[in-house]
Chain A
């Protein structure tokens, strides 16, 4: 009788375990430091290059020659060591690993805090820093304290214009920014089963915003069906009774479109409470909300209309962009006045392609609104795709209507 994390890590909550890492990855942001630590450790080889990945997504393409030079060093390292390497423009690490790589039951460790995204597959996926990653490159293993688990029990189904992002904002609000510190989250109940993979990725993605180490869904028919689309046969998990340290009940039917402000991810209110506030930029994308169903939803909101503020759309991967192009979504977005950018993290971390000026406000579908993150003196508000789209059309915070997204 164990939680999903206990089953995957092979130990009871509170114990320390050494585990083999099934997928280890870093990106252009963290890989440089990991490579430096690995070299300083005096290592001769990467233990398991076939399970090791380097993604260029954070400042891709490079914003200046310093970045480009650091990237060139890391690229050369990845090639020399025969690591799986993903070039600029391929997309965001967490999305590419969700395109037929990560499987249920795996241990996934990334040098990026949003590695918890991959918990959507029923994998134990968590973020570490660069030196931990270097040790994994060297040994193929790492240590964990097996976390206690908080259950988020979901009932009902989403109605109106609410979407999985609103669920993510709701549980971060309810738990607080450190409410799940050192814990794993498990999304359970009939409501969880009804959320499609893209929405599960959105929910798992924000687990770290409540301090959680991981955010897991049980692999079920939805997971198996999604992976079958990539030609992969996977088995669903068989849930067991287990002990949770805490349970949080959320009825999806009651959820309204939500928005986070005040430089805190847990300072969440209904969009209606901020309606009418002008915004300078709208950003749709990131590892939270840059997937095909997100862009489809945005296109439904914007079809045949024009945005009133600069609206930056960054698909999460090349596959997403290709599919959005093939199905006419990109054409709809361009006709509505959006800018469509290179697949990757875009302006989320304030490095390039949409940095804010002093006093500017950006409504973003990303996961973090920390002070100055997208530019000194700028403010970030976090919302769903539907809220972002509806607000782009008016140039001010706008409550999306159910009719907008149908």
Chain B
């Protein structure tokens, strides 16, 4: 799975409360989560995420199990998230909703063009390439299906 987009840089230990605040969770309206993603970090960010690759510091998505954090990013148009490490629940959630993750350290420059390939396990920005920790075959299958819901439906 190949992808590319403009880089948006966020810091390390980016907790799920900052990705989508608890006050927006009580709804099934996914566009609301997209509209308020990263609001407490930078209220202007939500509108600038379409077609971007978010490059985060270590421990991306730590904190609660709220799947809305991964959904909000995907709904806002984020193509993939790259970080040296992810918090494990966020990691599973992202795969399960079909948001590609690349686990490798990449220094981020805002607006730079980022390319990645999940099967080959790399990401690249400004000519600098990092080798990703490989996804398990099952995770790749789920991502290829577009998430666990379609994966499950196809299997039946």
B50 at the interface (CB under 8 A from A): no
Contact A129 B96 (CB under 8 A): yes
Q: How far is the CA of A319 from the CA of B137 in the complex (A)?
A: 46
A373 and B66 in contact, given A67-B26, A131-B96 (Cβ under 8 angstroms): no
Q: CB < 8 Å: which of A42, A131, A211, A213 contacts B67?
A: A131
Q: Give, as a whole number of angstroms, the nearest-CB distance from B68 to chain A.
A: 7
Q: Which residues on the B side are within 8 Å of A303 (C-beta)?
A: none
A350 and B63 in contact, given A181-B87, A181-B88 (Cβ under 8 angstroms): no
Closest residue on chain B to residue A113 by CB atoms: B65
Contact A211 B59 (CB under 8 A): yes
Q: CB < 8 Å: which of A67, A70, A127 contacts B65?
A: A127
Interface size of A as a range:
35 or more
Q: How far is the CA of A372 from the CA of B86 in the complex (A)?
A: 22
B1 at the interface (CB under 8 A from A): no
Contact B62 A129 (CB under 8 A): no
- Main secondary structure, interface of A, reads loop
Contact A177 B59 (CB under 8 A): yes
Q: Which residues on the B side are within 8 Å of A388 (C-beta)?
A: none
Q: Which residues on the B side are within 8 Å of A130 (C-beta)?
A: 65, 67, 93
Interface residues as binary, B142-154 with A (CB distance below 8 Å gives 1, 0 otherwise)? 0000011100110
Q: How far is the CA of A113 from the CA of B40 in the complex (A)?
A: 21
Q: Give, as a whole number of angstroms, the nearest-CB distance from A260 to chain B.
A: 13
Q: Give, as a whole number of angstroms, the nearest-CB distance from A357 to chain B.
A: 14
Closest residue on chain A to residue B25 by CB atoms: A29
Contact B26 A30 (CB under 8 A): no
Q: CB < 8 Å: which of A29, A37, A112, A371 contacts B18?
A: A371
Contact B136 A131 (CB under 8 A): no
Contact A213 B93 (CB under 8 A): no
Q: Which residues on the A side are within 8 Å of B87 (C-beta)?
A: 178, 181, 211
A244 at the interface (CB under 8 A from B): no
Q: Give, as a whole number of angstroms, the nearest-CB distance from B73 to chain A.
A: 13
Interface residues as binary, A362-377 with B (CB distance below 8 Å gives 1, 0 otherwise)? 0000001011110010
Q: CB < 8 Å: which of B15, B27, B62, B149 contacts A40?
A: B149
B22 at the interface (CB under 8 A from A): yes
Contact B28 A32 (CB under 8 A): yes
Q: Which residues on the B side are within 8 Å of A300 (C-beta)?
A: none
Q: CB < 8 Å: which of B13, B23, B67, B156 contacts A129?
A: B67
Q: How far is the CA of A349 from the CA of B65 in the complex (A)?
A: 12
Q: CB < 8 Å: which of A37, A128, A178, A181 contacts B149?
A: A37
Known A37-B148, A113-B89, A132-B96; further 4 A-B contacts with Cβ < 8 A: A112-B65, A129-B65, A177-B59, A211-B59
Please give me the 10 A-B residue pairs with the lowest Cβ-Cβ distance, nearest first.
A178-B59, A129-B93, A129-B67, A131-B96, A370-B17, A113-B65, A41-B152, A130-B67, A127-B65, A370-B15
CB pairs A–B below 8 angstroms (22 shown): A16-B138, A30-B66, A42-B152, A66-B27, A70-B26, A113-B89, A127-B89, A128-B65, A128-B89, A129-B89, A131-B147, A131-B149, A132-B148, A181-B59, A181-B85, A349-B22, A350-B22, A371-B15, A372-B18, A373-B22, A376-B21, A376-B40
